[in-house]
Amino acid sequence: MYKQLIPLLERWFEQAELQGMTIPARYHAGGQAGDAADTELQAVFEAFIARMQACYPFHQPAYAGQMLKPPHPAAWLAYAVAMSVNTNNHALDGGPETSQMEKEVIRDLAGMVGYDPGASLGHLTSGGTVANLEALWVARCLHPDKPVLFSEQAHYTHSRMCSVLGMEGRAVSMDLSSKEGEARFREALQGAGTLVVTLGTTGTGTIEPLDKVLPLCRQAGVRIHVDAAYGGFFTLLKNSGLFNPAPFEALWEADSIVIDPHKHGLQPYGCGCVLFRDASVGRFYKHDSPYTYFSSDELHLGEITLECSRAGAAAAALWFTIQLLGLHAESRFAGTLKNCLLAARSFASELQNSEAFGLLAQPETDIVCYFPLAGDISEISRLSRDIFHDTMQQGQQSLFLSLYKVNAGAFVKQFPAVSCTDPSEQVTILRSVFMKPEHLGFIPEMMRRLRASLQRITAQ
């Protein structure tokens, strides 16, 4: 697929070279034109692609391990073109056109979450970690001495960023299903500055109850930051009937939101995004730089970002992808996401019907955690690890999974037939992330490979 786009790239380079937009031939050979440079280039290239071939086959449905999704070929094309100009979206001086594209995609993303694009503020970042850092930094500007709360399932970046910012970070349970749970939560909110709510946790893809915690936070004067780095784009499917829409319907009420286009937005790495409902937080970014903003009085993105230089190519790639696929419920973009959700549901129901495997929980998004059935937690952990290694080593019949650790006490409460001597231990189970629509058709084969692996291991 990438290969088919090369004529378009050639068309760009022909035109760009005529206009002096890209580097002249032999520039990097240090002026020594001739075959020597080509031979060296080819030799290094051969060594390089030999190394690249040692990567896992991320683009195949058999790769259902970590959160890795191939970028859309259109994103690659736009990235390659923009990167050959190498614009810098820090300032309009360095990235005039790609900065405009960034402003346009930010309007699209703000619209997607229900923010008023005219009254909100946002920009792309190099990833979700920096985007979350910015949101917590703004939270600290507003509530300098108050702690940040997040659940045990929150991405580790929140506690790390609290330490970077010198803020106190505290774990809190958002289980409001009982009166006691709600009372505990209300008490935890007292004196807190910000609550982080994760839509699509990194471990299990769980959607935390934004709609339920919101009114309690408002009463207590606590700010809400939503970490939707993983799950943000699922808001396009909130009316699909595949998951509870309520947390996504409340998204527009959050004070800030992080979404990673390089997770589910079909973009190459580094493309994260942070959005603020109230554009006036832009005042915290104020700085006076004697060397950057000259070409216009219009907003330079560097005036509202913590990072300085940023790849204009990332904005170009996202802009191109949205132009091509759309960003609404009926778009092709949403269609590919839907198949990821369906793949996870199909896999979960296969597991439930199987005599060899158990399901940790019904998937809320496209991540499934599961385990080989066995009598005690150490056996489950051992079999899980063995399957993880064995499935990877089957040549064309391989599978690529990931491992996940769960508190043993909580696990045996849910599965009382499993025994455990020390409930403070952890049990290792299997985890699969279905980020590609092609997983949907692959589920029966995936089950076959899993069963075959378990048989190989238990036959030993």
Ligand X SMILES: *Cc1c(COP(=O)(O)O)cnc(C)c1O
Q: How far is the CB of 154 from ligand X (least distance, A)?
A: 7
| 12 or 230: CB nearest ligand X | 230
| 420 or 435: CB nearest ligand X | 435
| 250 or 271: CB nearest ligand X | 271
Q: How far is the CB of 3 from ligand X (least distance, A)?
A: 28
- Strand order of the β-sheet with 194-198 is 121-125, 272-276, 256-259, 223-227, 194-198, 148-150, 169-171
Residue 239 CB neighbours (<10 A): 10
| 112 or 131: CB nearest ligand X | 131
| 228 or 316: CB nearest ligand X | 228
Q: How far is the CB of 276 from ligand X (least distance, A)?
A: 17
Return the structure tokens found at 82: 């923009």
Q: How far is the CB of 263 from ligand X (least distance, A)?
A: 6
Q: Hey, what amino acid is at 430?
A: L
| 271 or 420: CB nearest ligand X | 271
Report CA 382 to chain centroid distance, whole Å.
29
Q: How far is the CB of 349 from ligand X (least distance, A)?
A: 25
Q: Which residues contact 157 (CB under 8 A, 6 or more apart)?
A: 128, 129, 132, 133
| 70 or 358: CB nearest ligand X | 70
Residue 135 and residue 196: Cα distance in Å, rounded? 10
Which residues make up the interface to ligand X (CB under 6 A)? 127-129, 132, 155, 157, 198, 202, 227, 229-230, 260, 263, 272
Among candidate residues 175, 163, 162, 255, the one with its CA nearest the CA of residue 209: 175
| 63 or 230: CB nearest ligand X | 230
| 91 or 195: CB nearest ligand X | 195
Q: How far is the CB of 235 from ligand X (least distance, A)?
A: 14
SS3 174: coil
Among candidate residues 364, 385, 383, the one with its CA nearest the CA of residue 434: 364
Query: What are 283's strand-pairing partners?
Result: none
Helix (H) or strand (E) segment spanning residue 428? strand 426-433
Return the structure tokens found at 303: 């005036």
Residue 262 and residue 275: Cα distance in Å, rounded? 16
DSSP string of 229-278, one letter each residue: TTTGGGGGGTTSSSS--HHHHTGGGSSEEEE-HHHHSS--SS-EEEEESS
Q: How far is the CB of 129 from ligand X (least distance, A)?
A: 3
Among candidate residues 130, 70, 126, the one with its CA nearest the CA of residue 314: 126
Q: How far is the CB of 243 from ligand X (least distance, A)?
A: 16
Question: What are the distances in angstroms from CA 135 to CA 171, 221, 302, 330?
Answer: 18, 17, 16, 30
Closest-CB residue for ligand X?
128
Residue 360 and residue 380: Cα distance in Å, rounded? 12
| 229 or 304: CB nearest ligand X | 229
Token pair 């769980």: residue: 206
Torsion of the alpha carbons at 345, 347, 350 and 354, rounded to the nearest 10 = -130
Q: How far is the CB of 6 from ligand X (least distance, A)?
A: 29
Q: How far is the CB of 199 from ligand X (least distance, A)?
A: 8
Q: How far is the CB of 135 from ligand X (least distance, A)?
A: 11
| 94 or 265: CB nearest ligand X | 265
| 109 or 408: CB nearest ligand X | 109
Q: How far is the CB of 258 from ligand X (least distance, A)?
A: 7
Q: How many CA atoms lie within 13 A of 188 on its CB side?
A: 22
Cβ–Cβ < 8 Å for 264, 321: no
Cβ–Cβ < 8 Å for 185, 172: yes
